[in-house]
Chains A and B, each alone.
Chain A
Amino acid sequence: MELYELTIHELHEKLKKREVSSVEATKSLLARIDAVEEKVKAFITVTPEEALKNAEAADKRIAAGEMDLLTGIPIALKDIFLTEGILTTCASRILSNFIPPYDATAAARLKERGMVLLGKLNQDEFAMGSSTETSWFGKTRNPWNLECIPGGSSGGSAAAVAAQQAVATLGTDTGGSIRQPAAHCGCVGLKPTYGRVSRYGVIAFASSLDQVGPITRDVTDCAIMLGAVAGHDPKDSTSVDTPVPDYLKALTGEVRGLRIGLPREYFIEGLDPDVKKAMDDAIATFRGLGAGFVEMSLPHTEHAIAVYYLIATAEASSNLARYDGVRFGYRNPDARGLLDMYMVSRDEGFGAEVKRRIMLGTYALSSGYYDAYYLKAQKVRTLITRDFIDAFESVDLILTPVAPTPAFRIGEKENDPLQMYLSDIFTIPVNLAGTCGVSVPAGFNGDGLPIGLQLIGRPFGEETVLRAAHAFEQATEWHKRKAAI
Chain B
Amino acid sequence: MKITREQVEHVARLARLELSDAEKELFTGQLDGILAYVDKLNELDTSGIVPTAHAVPMENAFREDVVTASLGVERALANAPDRSESFFRVPKVIE
Contact = CB atoms under 8 A, between A and B. Distances in A.
Given A208-B54, A382-B50, A347 B79 contact: no
Contacts of A310: 38
A376 B41 contact: yes
A341 B91 contact: yes
Interface of B: 3, 7-8, 11-12, 14-20, 23, 26-27, 30-31, 33-35, 37-38, 40-44, 46, 49-56, 58, 61, 63, 71, 75-76, 78-82, 88, 90-93, 95
24 contacts: A101-B79, A237-B58, A237-B61, A238-B56, A238-B58, A240-B56, A327-B79, A328-B79, A335-B91, A336-B91, A338-B91, A346-B15, A346-B18, A355-B19, A356-B31, A359-B15, A363-B35, A366-B11, A377-B38, A378-B52, A379-B51, A380-B41, A382-B51, A382-B52
A154 interface: no
Residue picked from B8, B38, B41, B82, most chain A C-beta under 10 Å:
B38
B19 A338 contact: no
Contact of A347 (B19, B33, B58): B19
B48 to A, nearest CB: 9
A417 B30 contact: yes
A326 B52 CA distance: 34
Given A102-B71, A331-B81, A331-B82, A303 B40 contact: yes
A257 B37 CA distance: 41
Interface in A212-263: 234, 237-238, 240
A341 B52 CA distance: 36
B18 A377 contact: no
B12 A359 contact: yes
A1 B19 CA distance: 53
A297 to B, nearest CB: 15
A434 B71 CA distance: 33
Given A328-B80, A366-B11, A432-B52, 14 more contacts: A101-B71, A101-B79, A193-B56, A194-B54, A195-B56, A307-B41, A338-B92, A342-B16, A358-B17, A360-B34, A379-B46, A417-B34, A431-B55, A434-B55
A406 B19 CA distance: 35
Instruction: Please tell me the size bucket of the interface on A.
Output: 35 or more
Interface in A317-337: 317, 321, 324-331, 335-337
Contact of A99 (B37, B55, B79, B82): B79
Contacts of B58: 237-238
A378 B53 CA distance: 7
A379 B56 contact: no
A338 B93 contact: yes
B46 A359 contact: no
A98 interface: yes
A99 B92 CA distance: 27
Contact of B27 (A321, A335, A355): A355
A383 B45 CA distance: 10
Residue picked from A99, A343, A421, most chain B C-beta under 10 Å:
A343
Given A309-B34, A346-B17, A433-B55, A359 B8 contact: yes
